[in-house]
Homo-oligomer: A and B are copies of this chain.
Amino acid sequence: MKMEHDLHMTKGEEETSYFKNSRLQEKALVETKPVLQKIVMEMCVDLLHPTMTIVDLGCSSSDNTLFFVSNVIKAVSYHLEKFSGHPTELQFFLNDLPGNDFNRVFQSLQRFRSSIDMDHKGEPIPAFYIAGLPSSYYTRLLPRRSVHLFHSSYCLHWRSRLPDGLEGKKRPYPNEGNIGIGATTRPCVVKMYQEQFQKDMLLFLQLRHEELVANGQMVLTFLGRKHDDVYSASLNRLYGLLSQSVQSLVEEGLVEKEKLDSFNLPVYGPSMDDVKALVDQS
């Protein structure tokens, strides 16, 4: 799998598209809205720069993409009324892998601008500019000390790549019958995923640290697990069901067994302790 090109949500507006199947992700955005509002308010007060640069990492291409943008605009508008000062301009960067359907997002911008104008009729709103940023967030994305706020929702459980031991089509397949961490995944494979998570997350924190201004902030929501037991993660149960479905297709002769055995998803949901340990280490 070539991550940069092949890893993206299902395009279009069909029944099986991400556009029609992103309610869960929307729920997460609604739930984290108060946190986002609080952070934005604090930044409005603290920052002296007249432009606030905001980056959404893993923006995808559904209505959720602009729901985040609209939440920030609302929070800043509230500030404008209250303090009537800076910051007056917002520069948004919507980031995702180059395989994401940016054309779709861009073509909805005019409608989005009209809806913002309608929602804020008569109230002052900050000038805002929206750009697309097509690159993996496991690389540098923007100039040094240029970003005030990073946001990412339901995205950082995706790894930058498959661990070395799982990549390629060499027999024996270490994770036979699974497409991620499943009930029969061996501890050595779990360790591979964990090490990839650690490498990725440390790299991510280091890159964003270089890009953030002093006092910059990050709001990161991603799938993990509540308990230490790595097999208990809801993410694993989800992909466990998916691998069972593929297993049925194998049994019916519709998919080759080898395809299931060799295929793995670059995904890992860490525990709170996993994340805390890495933040402390970074």
Contact = CB atoms under 8 A, between A and B. Distances in A.
Nearest to A99: B107
Interface residues of A, number: 30
Interface in A139-162: 140-144, 146
A132 interface: yes
A132 B129 contact: no
A140 B135 CA distance: 25
Q: In this complex, which of A99, A109, A110 has the most chain B Cβ atoms within 10 angstroms of its Cβ?
A: A110
A98 B127 contact: no
A143 to B, nearest CB: 4
7 contacts: A93-B131, A101-B103, A129-B135, A129-B143, A131-B133, A132-B132, A132-B133
A263 interface: no
Given A4-B110, A140-B127, A102 B51 contact: no
Q: Which 5 A-B pairs have the closest CB atoms?
A: A106-B134, A132-B132, A51-B143, A131-B131, A89-B143
A144 to B, nearest CB: 6
Interface in A216-270: none
A121 interface: no
A54 to B, nearest CB: 12
Nearest to A89: B143
A82 interface: no
A85 interface: no
A262 B102 CA distance: 34
A91 interface: yes
A48 to B, nearest CB: 15
A5 interface: yes
A154 B102 CA distance: 25
A132 B131 contact: yes
Interface in A36-53: 50-51
A5 B135 CA distance: 25
Interface in A101-130: 101-103, 106-107, 109-110, 127, 129-130
A130 B103 CA distance: 16
Nearest to A127: B140
Nearest to A97: B106
Nearest to A4: B110
User: Considering residues A5, A142, A143, which has the most beta carbons from chain B within 10 angstroms of its beta carbon?
Assistant: A143
Contacts of A127: 140, 143
Interface in A52-74: none
B51 A5 contact: no
